[in-house]
Structure 1
Amino acid sequence: MDLSHRFEGESVGRALALVGERWSLLILRETFFGVRRYSEFARNLSIPRPTLSARLTTLVDAGLLDRVLYATDPDRHEYRLTDAGRELFPAIVVLMRWGDRYLAGPDGPPILLRHNECGEIADPYLACRSCGGEISADKVTPEPGPAFR
């Protein structure tokens, strides 16, 4: 089947255009681990402040973060994940897992994820919601979707 059209408006390219920049992904990672305030992002990431401001604005405008007032006099805001932002968690975890496997130093990964339900260190994987089977490149077949032209 010819899927050569897939580069026109395809979902991976659109998502990367929004969150594929390094700082955007790191800001999202920080929010998943509880960071909410501008000063915390700046401190944790050692990111230039103009870059941080621009990336936060982009993430808010895209609907991935909400900018919420938490104090007045002076006005102070924090950034909270929206539903769309929270749905990026699996992508961050997959990147983290890959980095831990192929790029970690001799001491191992710097952060582990403990699964709250069972108490064990999580070994996440991508699974099919219908059958629960693991999804990998050799276990799926691309086919035309509703927007196929």
Structure 2
Amino acid sequence: TNDYAFVWSDTGTLVPGVVVTTGQLLPTTLHGQNMVTFVYDAAVESFKFVDQGDGQGGGRFFIRCNETIVPGMASVGLAQSGAPVRLMPANPQMTYVFEPPMNTYFVGFGQGAERPYVVANTFAPFEKIDWQMNIAKMDATLNADGSWKIEPTHLATAE
């Protein structure tokens, strides 16, 4: 769905195998309240979003990191349906711009505990799913040799 939110995590450096825990979700839309500032509040020893407002035109999301951000401590990005889908390492005096569509999906397989967001696969190779226009459903099959067979199974219909 297109219910977007700004998201941050203080998991640290994004490296393969890191499980990201969401620190805050702040609802946003493409056409308003699409810009926010990310800060570190030393008084409470925590990160937070402040000063949410309208960005430079619609259709994009903006996250500004101020001078209080220490490199390697946090990540910022966007969530959809309550889960992070795009994250970037937060750095001081940087502005990150995210522009949908964010319809790039990957499939993977392995054993492990359910977590909010896995940065990289540690079990089997991810396979990119190229989701084309007018496709409502895709099936992914893991073959015995570890390769993936991905194919559309349903076309989207007008409601």
The TM-score normalised by the length of structure 1 is 0.24
Q: Which has the higher strand share?
A: 2
Q: Which has the higher helix share?
A: 1
The TM-score normalised by the length of structure 2 is 0.23
Q: Which has the higher contact order (CA 8 A, sep 6+)?
A: 2
